[in-house]
Each structure stands twice: as C-alpha cells, then as structure tokens.
C-alpha cells in the first residue's frame, strides 16, 4: 500500500515543481529577450538500503528554448535585437560575464551603457562600455557605437567602442537564476564578427503564452489525480485495517 502512496506523493510534489517552472515562463511572456525554461518528467529508482522497489518521479530541467522570439520595431536609438544567432555580452555583479538577448539598453547617469536590469554591456575592449556626454548615440549593425559630441555637427561622429557580440555553442550554455545565459565552467566566449544587430528593434520573449496556459491546466489536473490517488491509498489502507480487525 505504501508503494502506491509513495508514487502518488512524489508525483504530486514534482507536479508542483513543474508548475513553478511553467508559471515563471508565463509571467515572463512579455519580458524582452526572455528564454523559455524547459523541463520534463523522469522516473528514477530511489537509492538506499534494501530492495530497489521504489521509483521517484523527478522534474528535470532540460535547459532553455533557443528559438528566436518575435521582433518588435521601436525606432529607439538604443534598442537593438540580435539578427539570427548570437548574444550580447554583459557583466555580472561579481565581475564575470554572462549573455543576453535583451537589447533594451540605456545610459546611466555615470555614462555606463546597461541593459534593462542594470547589467553593464561589455565592449570588445574587455570592460563595460562608457558613453561620454553626447548629443546623439548610434549603434551600427556590427555593434559599433558612435557618438556625436556636444556642440558638434552631424558629420562629427566618433567611434568609442563596439558591443561584444558572441555566438558560442548552445550546448555549452546554461541559464542562471537572473535569466542571463552563461557558459559552463565559467568560461568566457570570444567575440564573433559574424553576429549582427538590428537597431531600433527588440526581440521579445519566445514563450508561447497559449501553450503555457494549456500546460498550466494540464499540470493542475495531473496534480489533482495524484491527490485523489493518495486519498484512494488512504481509504484502501483503512479498509484493510478494518478487515484485519474482523478476522
């Protein structure tokens, strides 16, 4: 009887884990550059002393969806979207490097070019990109940043840096809790000159909100079935105990 109860219990627990992953995807359906988290269920034998008679249901994260999200034209000078494959390199809080597809950039009061969540955008020079006071900032299709200094004519454009654009092997990449992508073993990707950007546009989340809603309903029903199975196990146990009393 406890075998039936254990399977139902572990199944219900993992349904909750899967629901949390799916809910996170759903709430980020409109987040710029967000990559959908993937998960699936696996059956794994419970390790320990005794006979291997118990199997645990596990929700296993299988990386993230690499499919490109839809592009939205904004016309804003500091909005960029990666054309095809590739990533924008940004600095992590600990001084490391991570990667994102979120190109809604802005300049801080200190002149640092950052993403919407405050991560400093890295340049090919190796450090965060600093933008001097300027009347206009332009980003080229290759990530080159040009500025028109204050008081200068429109023809007086000066190149200050180039956004570090990379395109490492996706199989070597993993998604962090902050939503940014990192290389395994804290490796650092090299700049890739073939990666280009589309200025005045943004790539939206690649989460399909309708699929996420359907998955949410499906997971909720499966959770209810596991709870019903646990109640059935309880009723069967009570009936068995009653029969034992009669005998």
Q: Compute the distance between CA of residue 150 and CA of residue 132 in angstroms, rounded to an integer.
A: 9
**What pLDDT does residue 2 have?**
66
| Rounded average pLDDT over 230-245 | 78
Q: Evaluate whether 183 touches 189 at the Cβ level (below 8 Å).
A: yes
Q: How far apart are CA 192 and CA 204, in angstroms?
A: 23
Picking from 41, 92, 40, the residue whose alpha carbon sits closest to that of residue 65 is 40
Dihedral angle over CA of 26, 31, 35, 39, nearest 10: -20
CA distance between the termini of the chain:
19
Secondary structure element (H or E) that encloses residue 196, with its range: strand 196-199
pTM metric for this prediction: 0.82
pLDDT value, residue 229: 84
Average pLDDT, the chain: 88
Question: CA dihedral in degrees (196, 197, 198, 202; nearest 10)?
Answer: 140
**Average pLDDT for residues 13-24, to the nearest whole number?**
89
Opening angle at CA 97, ends 91 and 102, nearest 5: 65
pLDDT in tens, 94-108: 889 999 999 999 999
Cβ atoms of 165 and 143 within 8 Å: the answer is yes
Residue ranges of the alpha helices (H) in the chain? 2-27, 209-246
Q: Which pLDDT value is given to residue 8?
A: 80
Closest to 41 (Cα-Cα) out of 7, 75, 67: 7
**For residues 102 and 32, is the Cβ–Cβ distance under 8 A?**
yes
pLDDT digits over 181-194, tens only? 999 888 899 999 99
Give the model's confidence band at 173: pLDDT under 50 very low, under 70 low, under 90 confident, else very high. very high
Model confidence pLDDT, tens digit, residues 28-66: 999 999 999 988 777 677 777 766 666 676 666 678 999
HEC-encoded secondary structure of 170-193: HHHEEECCCCCEEEHHHCCCCECC
Q: CA 73 to CA 153: how far, in whole Å? A: 28
Question: What band does 141 get if pLDDT is binned at 50, 70 and 90?
Answer: very high
């Amino acid at each position: 009887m406890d075998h039936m109860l254990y399977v139902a219990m572990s199944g219900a627990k993992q349904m909750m884990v899967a629901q949390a992953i799916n809910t996170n995807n759903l709430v980020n359906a409109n987040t710029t550059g967000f990559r959908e988290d993937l998960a699936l269920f696996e059956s794994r034998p419970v390790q320990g002393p005794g006979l291997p008679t118990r199997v645990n249901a596990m929700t296993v994260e299988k990386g993230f969806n690499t499919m490109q999200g839809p592009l939205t034209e904004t016309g804003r000078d500091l909005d960029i979207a990666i054309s095809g494959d590739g990533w924008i390199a940004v600095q992590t809080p600990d001084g490391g490097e991570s990667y994102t597809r979120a190109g809604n950039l802005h300049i801080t009061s200190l002149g640092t070019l950052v993403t919407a969540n405050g991560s400093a955008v890295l340049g090919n020079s190796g450090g965060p990109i600093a933008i001097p006071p300027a009347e206009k900032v332009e980003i080229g299709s290759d990530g080159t940043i040009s500025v028109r200094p204050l008081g200068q004519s429109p023809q007086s454009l000066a190149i200050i840096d180039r956004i570090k654009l990379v395109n490492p092997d996706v199989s070597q990449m993993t998604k962090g809790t902050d939503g940014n992508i990192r290389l395994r073993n804290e490796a650092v990707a090299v700049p890739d000159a073939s990666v280009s950007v589309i200025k005045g546009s943004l790539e939206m989340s690649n989460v399909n909100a309708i699929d996420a809603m359907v998955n949410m309903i499906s997971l909720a029903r499966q959770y209810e079935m596991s709870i019903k199975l646990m109640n059935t196990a309880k009723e069967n146990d009570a009936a068995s105990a009653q029969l034992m009393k009669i005998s």
